[in-house]
Structure 1
Amino acid sequence: MTEARSTTGQSPLLLLIATGMRTYREYLLRSISTGFRVHLFHVDEPTWEKEFVSGWTVLPSTLDGPAMARAARELHAREPVAGVLCWDEGRIHAASHVAEALGLRNGDPSVIWRLRDKGQTRAALDTAGVTQPRSVPVKTLDEALAAADLVGYPAILKPRGLGASLGVVKAGDAGQLRERFPFTAGMKGPDPEPLLYSTDQPVLVEELVTGEEISVDSVVQDGKAVPLFIARKVVGFPPYAEEIGHYVDAGDPLLSDPRLLEAIQDTHTALGFRDGWTHSEFMLTATGPHLIEVNGRLGGDMIPYLGMLATGIDPGLVAARVACGMAPGVMPSLRQVSGIRFFYVEHDDTLIESVSFLETDLPSAVERLVPVARPGAVVSPPPKGTVWGRIAFAIATGRSIEECRAALDAAESALAVRTGEDDTHRREE
């Protein structure tokens, strides 16, 4: 089913593939709608999205790239599409088939597959000499044990085709690797990914590199990569790698660090990524930045929103402009710091009755307080819960990371959770 609304003006038509959770992605669509007409490909009739789109097509799947390409050609024949955009990790490869069919930017499925498949990423970067951890793809536990002997302990286990740190765990020795390998090998994403799991070697055993971990959201046009936002990660729940918070500083000195800028550009050149938005992760080691992974989409965890709060650069509009081959417009208009913290329950299989914040006397630096878990939900902390175990998050802005951290501490103290097992309680430090 296709629905189109009459529109006025000649703003470009952008084809958006899926939207994701409203809580995490509405801000992007809201911004894009101010400068573009948006046609949405989705598996259901839009609900909250209708306010921001000019039309939509309901399809059986948004994971089937060739089928979506046929629907896109029909749309394009009625009205030319200027660009294709997708920020959902599980659908960016399918979206590249659509862009390819329409002759638009970011339309090379082999390039996007090279980013989706972390094994291919590692191989391409090895060939180009980009600094990264040693990595060995494996299938079986015995192969993993042999690979760990090669890269050394502690070793990192990770699925080669998932995002959001799903399935990533550290093994300090052979005993821990034996215990934790099934966790990584059995991890599944939110969508079926049969092509990724058709590989004979679905798990990567990697060298542990230490330092501060960051993520970099970059805009890439005609092969030139420009970093816009750098997020300093806060990681918790060891030995797992759950991202429990981020800080973005508009004045981060890493934005002009020659070694990091060179690593970012060399990475994109080696992978052949020429147009679009990427979210890369690096470990800042004593010997320089080591590339951890590259995702061919906007960052998750509200990181682009943090970037907008910190710099004034609108990520939705920038991503849409680049998808359409337009000048991105990336001059900062603000210079401040923003941060986010995610909250979890303490025990597996916790029944949620309510999640709220007691907002009395919170500092003005608290920008947003967002309950995520709904009444009746059963949630768990990592490793069982991973990102789906989050029950709420808070966002703060300020002049420094310390000011943001203090505001997030206050927000955490104001978090009130009622569960099926106990009475209302407040989170305390």
Structure 2
Amino acid sequence: MAHPSAAPSAPRNLLVIGGIGLGDPGRCLLRTFLAQAEQRGCRIHMTDQKMFVDLAPTEVTSRFASLHVLDFTDTAHCVEWATRQHHEGPGFDMVVTARDDAQPTTAAIAEALGLPYNSPASIETTQNKDRCRAALAEAGLPQPAWRLCRDVDDALAFTEGTAGPWVVKPRDGTGSRAVRRADDRAALVAAVGLLDAADRPFLVEELVVGPEYSAEGLFLHGEPVVVALTAKTTTEPPLFVELGHVVPAPLPEDTAAAARTAVERAVRAVGLTFGLFHAEFWLTENGPVLGELHCRPGGDYISMLVEAAHPGFQYFGALFDAFADPAFRPDLAADGAAAVAFLTAPAGTVVEVSGWEQARAGEALLHAHLARSPGDTVPELRSSMDRCGAVVVRAATSEQARAAADARAGLVRITTTADAPAEAPLPVH
């Protein structure tokens, strides 16, 4: 379906909460959002915290109709500000965010202005892992045994009635942060001890055994539609840091259909009705088991992979077009595949980077980003923030895309003081 340059009833003025960010995947997502909004004649009213606004590049900020410093963690102030702007300014047709931590404020603004969005209650359910698990179980969707724990005694009490291994995780949070596997009670005690005070109370769950996937979709006229399934590669236990993704996930059609159905049931069960969604799940011998649900597009370049594998589909464009036309249905035909592989290195100071130019050469490359250079510090790999870069490629099949991304990533050697010879000199800047 052709994408309109401007639709009379398109969302003319878009309010974006917390939309700048600094990470490379976020910058890529913002560029895509701006391009697809501009194609439809939309005006972007961007807000973010001061640190992000101050560091935003001019070539990006020049494309906004307006830019405001707004702390999305102060919901009451944001609602008051948005209400005043709405009535005194141009008036907003839609409010959106791609940040998990800005979801409560975005929902509150939409409710106050009478704009389409997910309800504050549904946002609260998705952002509290225990409430989400309870809602999914009530809807009849398989869930692992879990408990919301205050301390290590609660966690140990949970082990008495469940079979390990277990997973310890914050009640909220993203990017695999502070998620740890515990194979026995001693490991469980250690995992709980590593949690920050801000991560309490916390969840302990039985480990779900099976490969991990995610579903990428959007709501069309109130109904959820899964556009693509993503296969994931993660680090070995006890941590679960994502090292790669491929779209579409190479699954038999009946398995993929069962996963799509389960995810669409799940997002309805937690009360979501609007926008984009990203749902994590595992495939077990008994079928899909749902994990976390997010009312935003997937991170880690997943939106780029989805659009590359579905050349007629635009993630944000479909959202805007559905707003403009009650009969709109996007082109979801798949043609090819895409994959991302993330770069890692031993913890230490970067001494040398080699192979980067070779890794980013060639027509099949969609995107490449190197996040570390000589002199930079590489922390121990505990979350997605600790990775060192990424390469994104397109290919004819999922298997070819995954192999090509892994091969390019394998060309890059990031030498740190942890694996460099002791006498290796640091580079001169």
TM over 0.5: yes
2:293 matched residue in structure 1: 294
* Cα pair 1:343 1:390 within 8 Å, conserved: yes
1:5 matched residue in structure 2: none
Q: 1:56 to 1:362 in 2, by over 3 A?
A: closer
Q: Deviations over 1:255-276 (max 9, x none)?
A: 9844323312221222111112
Which SS does the other structure have where 2:388 is aligned? strand
Q: Deviations over 1:269-288 (max 9, x none)?
A: 22111112111011111111
1:414 matched residue in structure 2: 411
- Are residues 1:30 and 2:34 paired? yes
* Cα pair 1:166 1:187 within 8 Å, conserved: no
Q: 1:375 to 1:362 in 2, by over 3 A?
A: closer
Query: How does 1:72-111 map onto structure 2 within 5 Å?
Result: 72-77=82-87, 78-111=89-122
When normalised by structure 1's length, the TM-score is: 0.85
1:192 matched residue in structure 2: none
* Cα pair 2:346 2:416 within 8 Å, conserved: no
> Residues of 1 paired with 2:351 and 2:143: CA distance?
41
Query: How does 1:279-358 map onto structure 2 within 5 Å?
Result: 279-312=278-311, 313-321=313-321, 329-332=329-332, 334-347=334-347, 349-351=348-350, 357-358=356-357
Q: Could you tell me which amino acid in structure 1 is paired with residue 264 of structure 2?
A: Q
Q: Deviations over 1:81-126 (max 9, x none)?
A: 1111101111111111111111111142111011011111112122
When normalised by structure 2's length, the TM-score is: 0.85
Q: 1:282 to 1:424 in 2, by over 3 A?
A: farther
Query: How does 1:126-165 map onto structure 2 within 5 Å?
Result: 126-165=137-176
Q: Deviations over 1:185-242 (max 9, x none)?
A: 3286xxxxxxxx6xxx621111112112110011124542100121101011421111
- Are residues 1:17 and 2:23 paired? no
Q: Deviations over 1:362-417 (max 9, x none)?
A: 5543332211235543222322xx11211110111111223223322331233243
2:65 matched residue in structure 1: 54
* Cα pair 1:250 1:307 within 8 Å, conserved: no
- Report how many aligned residue pairs link the two structures: 402
> Residues of 2 paired with 1:293 and 1:323: CA distance?
27
> Residues of 2 paired with 1:56 and 1:136: CA distance?
43
Instruction: Please report how far the alpha carbon of residue 327 of structure 1 lies from its aligned counterpart in structure 2 after TM superposition.
Output: 6.2
Q: Deviations over 1:36-66 (max 9, x none)?
A: 211001223443431432112222x122222
1:270 matched residue in structure 2: 269
> Could you tell me the percent identity over the aligned residues?
25
2:3 matched residue in structure 1: none
* Correspondence for 1:42 among 24, 45, 48: 48
* Cα pair 1:83 1:320 within 8 Å, conserved: no
Q: Could you tell me which amino acid in structure 2 is paired with residue 104 of structure 1?
A: L
Q: 1:251 to 1:341 in 2, by over 3 A?
A: closer
* Cα pair 1:353 1:420 within 8 Å, conserved: no
> Residues of 2 paired with 1:152 and 1:100: CA distance?
43
Which SS does the other structure have where 1:151 is aligned? coil
Structure 1: any 5+ residue segments left out of the alignment?
A: 1-7, 189-196
* Cα pair 2:349 2:374 within 8 Å, conserved: no
Structure 2: any 5+ residue segments left out of the alignment?
A: 1-5
- Are residues 1:63 and 2:73 paired? yes
Q: Could you tell me which amino acid in structure 1 is paired with residue 406 of structure 2?
A: D
* Cα pair 2:359 2:409 within 8 Å, conserved: no
- Are residues 1:230 and 2:235 paired? no
> Residues of 1 paired with 2:322 and 2:179: CA distance?
32
> Residues of 1 paired with 2:254 and 2:425: CA distance?
44
> Residues of 2 paired with 1:381 and 1:65: CA distance?
34
Give the RMSD, CA atoms, in angstroms.
2.8
1:210 matched residue in structure 2: 209
> Residues of 2 paired with 1:262 and 1:332: CA distance?
16
Q: Could you tell me which amino acid in structure 2 is paired with residue 318 of structure 1?
A: A
> Residues of 2 paired with 1:154 and 1:243: CA distance?
20
Which SS does the other structure have where 2:123 is aligned? helix
Q: 1:144 to 1:378 in 2, by over 3 A?
A: same
